[in-house]
């Protein structure tokens, strides 16, 4: 049975991915800060094994990988999916709030992937899949640090792919657009910007409300899960996957436009 480590597996895209993999016969170690819960089994022979894994804690990450190594003969893939969101204007975002955003979305993924690399190298194969975002290639106002973190992760994985190719390790990023999950209700605001007296307050609220409306009318997490699992099952993964025809088209058009016009159109969408 092929074994997969999945982070952010307790809800949303992560949970949908874990369930789909289980039903296809994979053993999924589903890591999250919540952890706990009963092992789930599928008639296919697959299973979900919940485990406590805090991607911001290096020791927690190492312990999770050691547990998997001790209980299995191999690690077929890692899916780095844990993430969070913070909204607010750049001027009034504190250093601590910036760190909060980047710690999970970028450095957390780095920790998890680094912990898996020695296992993959020793095996001579392995798959690394990271959930980034359309926001990695299309900047979103008042989500600057979310976009920046996802862009950093996008470039990191693409650079990593070149480094580890000689060892039989493949890398892929999944770029979801607006998706209907608990991520919307879990989004935090920076303390100073969530204040009616803030210079940016009205514009910030308009932009975030537009985004949250789109998320709640967006793709189902199961659609993103299918895109992830399709790469797990491919002999040769694609380097970048954008689920949904609309988001593929948006990213393609964005790449073709002069940057001044591109930013103007994005600004209009969120104004």
Q: What is the CATH number of the domain that holds 161?
A: 3.40.50.720
- Over residues 84-93, the mean pLDDT reads 94
pLDDT of residue 94 exceeding 80: yes
pLDDT of residue 36 exceeding 80: no
Q: How far is CA 96 from CA 91, 103, 153, in A?
A: 13, 10, 20
Q: Please name which of 149, 154, 51 lies closest in space to residue 100, comparing C-alpha atoms.
A: 149
Q: Please name which of 57, 44, 12 lies closest in space to residue 30, comparing C-alpha atoms.
A: 12
Say what the alpha-carbon torsion angle 164, 167, 168, 169 is, to the nearest 10 degrees.
-30
Our count of domains for the chain comes to 1
pLDDT of residue 138 exceeding 80: yes
Lowest mean pLDDT across 57-71, 110-124, 194-208: 194-208
pLDDT of residue 195 exceeding 90: no
Under the banding of pLDDT at 50, 70 and 90, the label for residue 251 is very high
Q: Is 139 helix (H, G, I), strand (E, B) or coil?
A: coil
Under the banding of pLDDT at 50, 70 and 90, the label for residue 18 is very high
Q: What is the pLDDT of residue 168?
A: 98
pLDDT of residue 157 exceeding 80: yes
The residues facing 77 across adjacent strands are 4, 127
Q: What is the pLDDT of residue 230?
A: 98
Secondary-structure breakdown of the chain: helix, strand, coil percentages, each rounded to the nearest 5? 50, 15, 35
Tokens of 49: 């094994």
For residues 132 and 140, what is the distance between their CA atoms, to the nearest angstrom? 14
pLDDT of residue 185 exceeding 90: no
* Token pair 């994985």 in the structure block, residue: 157
Chain center to CA of 69 = 24
* Domain membership of residue 11 as a residue range: 3-269
Under the banding of pLDDT at 50, 70 and 90, the label for residue 37 is confident
Largest CA distance in the chain: 58
Positive or negative torsion for Cα 30, 34, 36, 37: negative
Q: What is the pLDDT of residue 194?
A: 84
pLDDT of residue 231 exceeding 80: yes
The residues facing 48 across adjacent strands are 28, 40
Please, what is the average pLDDT of the chain? Answer: 95
Q: Please name which of 235, 118, 233, 237 lies closest in space to residue 173, comparing C-alpha atoms.
A: 237
pLDDT > 70 in the chain, percent: 100
């Amino acid at each position: 049975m092929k074994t997969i480590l999945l982070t952010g597996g307790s809800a949303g895209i992560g949970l949908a991915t874990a369930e789909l993999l289980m039903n296809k016969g994979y053993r999924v170690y589903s890591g999250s800060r919540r952890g706990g819960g009963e092992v789930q089994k599928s008639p296919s022979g697959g299973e979900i094994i919940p485990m406590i894994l805090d991607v911001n804690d290096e020791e927690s990450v190492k312990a999770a990988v050691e547990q998997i190594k001790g209980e299995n003969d191999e690690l077929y893939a890692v899916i780095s999916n844990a993430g969070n969101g913070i909204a607010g204007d750049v001027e009034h975002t504190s250093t601590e709030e910036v760190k909060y955003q980047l710690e999970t979305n970028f450095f957390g993924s780095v920790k998890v992937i680094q912990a898996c690399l020695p296992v993959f190298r020793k095996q001579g194969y392995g798959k690394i899949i990271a959930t980034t975002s359309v926001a990695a290639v299309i900047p979103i106002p008042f989500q600057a640090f979310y976009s920046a973190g996802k862009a950093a992760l996008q470039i990191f994985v693409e650079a990593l792919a070149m480094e580890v190719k000689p060892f039989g390790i493949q890398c892929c990023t999944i770029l979801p657009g607006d998706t209907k999950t608990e991520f919307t209700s879990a989004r935090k605001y920076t303390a100073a910007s969530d204040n009616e007296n803030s210079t940016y307050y009205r514009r910030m609220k308009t932009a975030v409300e537009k985004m949250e409306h789109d998320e709640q009318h967006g793709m189902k997490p199961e659609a993103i899960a299918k895109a992830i699992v399709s790469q797990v099952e491919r002999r040769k993964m694609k380097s970048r996957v954008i689920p949904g025809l609309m988001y593929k088209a948006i990213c393609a058009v964005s790449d073709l436009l002069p940057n001044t016009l591109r930013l103007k159109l994005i600004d209009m969408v969120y104004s």
